[in-house]
């Protein structure tokens, strides 16, 4: 069973993603902060990380850079899942090391299909 780390500080968003992914057959682990996300990424070695950009301690782009600089760096796909949808935000996510970009609010009809592309 593929493991996905959800990095999200908003409880409703976390619940929605967890519910859909578990229905899709994935094993889920979660982090609410950037610091937790980094520890979980190294320790859990998930197959995919869904990274919120706006986190309470450090932003998801910085967490992504730190993961890429760690021993876990190349083996994990990281997808930014964010409400940041301004010009240049997608490019910033890719420059930080993200492999994909999904805008919030999440579309339940296409979410699992989008995730399948990265796992």
Structural domains of the chain, ranges and CATH numbers in brackets: 3-116 (3.40.50.2300)
Q: What are the C-alpha distances in Å from 7 to residues 46, 48, 52, 87?
A: 12, 11, 6, 23
pLDDT tens column, 36-90: 999 999 999 999 999 999 999 999 999 999 999 987 666 799 999 988 667 788 9
What pLDDT does 87 receive? 77
Residues of the chain above pLDDT 90, percent: 87
Q: Which tokens go with 51?
A: 């990274």
pLDDT band of 113, cuts 50, 70, 90? very high
Check if the beta carbon of residue 32 is closer than 8 Å to that of residue 5.
no
Q: Which tokens go with 41?
A: 């990424």
């Amino acid at each position: 069973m593929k493991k996905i780390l959800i990095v999200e500080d908003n409880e409703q968003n976390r619940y929605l993603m967890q519910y859909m992914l578990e229905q899709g057959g994935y094993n889920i682990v979660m982090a609410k902060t950037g610091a937790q996300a980094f520890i979980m990424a190294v320790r859990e070695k998930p197959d995919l990380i869904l990274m919120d950009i706006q986190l309470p301690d450090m932003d998801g782009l910085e967490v992504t850079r730190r993961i890429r600089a760690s021993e876990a760096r190349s083996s994990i796909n990281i997808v930014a899942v964010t409400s940041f949808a301004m010009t240049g935000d997608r490019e910033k996510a890719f420059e930080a090391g993200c492999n994909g970009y999904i805008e919030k609010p999440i579309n339940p009809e296409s979410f699992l299909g989008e995730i399948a592309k990265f796992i």
